[in-house]
């Protein structure tokens, strides 16, 4: 199975700040990488797919980048509604696997 190592596990940032979350795959996943946002008590929502494609309706302050085994999610100008947990997922191969998540809080 492809292991997804996500960091940091938790993050505290101020409104307006830029934050970056990293995800490392145990092997090359050829940009088969998605990012999801899960707000407290809610279902996950797709943010990014193909490593850098913004899903319909997602604010442009979210962006994804990376290749090979290293990927990142960047949130520019942090808003209060961005408080959530974020998960990366590889879909290059079965079984699909997720990172352990990053819990983002406001400072």
Partner 1 sequence: EVQLVESGGGLVQPGRSLKLSCAASGFTFSNYYMAWVRQAPTKGLEWVASITNSGGSTYYRDSVKGRFTISRDNAKSTLYLQMDSLRSEDTATYYCTRDMGARGVMDAWGQGASVTVSS
Q: Which stretch binds partner 1 (CB under 8 A): 10-18, 20-28, 69-77, 83-91?
A: 83-91
Q: Tell which positions 24-63 bind partner 1, by CB under 8 A.
A: 32, 34, 36, 43-46, 49, 55
In the numeric block, which tokens belong to residue 21?
């979350």
CA-CA distance, 60 to 97, in Å (whole number)?
26
Burial of 4 (0-12, 13-18, 19+ CB in 10 A): buried
Token pair 């970056």: residue: 20
**Minimum distance of partner 1 from residue 97's CB (angstroms):** 7
Task: Note the residues at the interface with partner 1 (CB under 8 A).
Answer: 32, 34, 36, 43-46, 49, 55, 87, 89, 91, 94-101
């Amino acid at each position: 199975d492809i292991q997804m190592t996500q960091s940091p596990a938790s993050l505290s940032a101020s409104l307006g700040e830029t934050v970056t979350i990293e995800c490392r795959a145990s092997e090359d996943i050829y940009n088969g990488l998605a990012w999801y946002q899960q707000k407290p008590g809610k279902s996950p929502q797709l943010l990014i797919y193909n490593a850098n494609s913004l899903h319909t309706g997602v604010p442009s302050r979210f962006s994804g980048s990376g290749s090979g085994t290293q990927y990142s999610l960047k949130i520019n100008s942090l808003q209060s509604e961005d408080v959530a947990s974020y998960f990366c997922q590889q879909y290059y191969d079965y079984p699909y696997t997720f990172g352990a998540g990053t819990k983002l809080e406001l400072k």
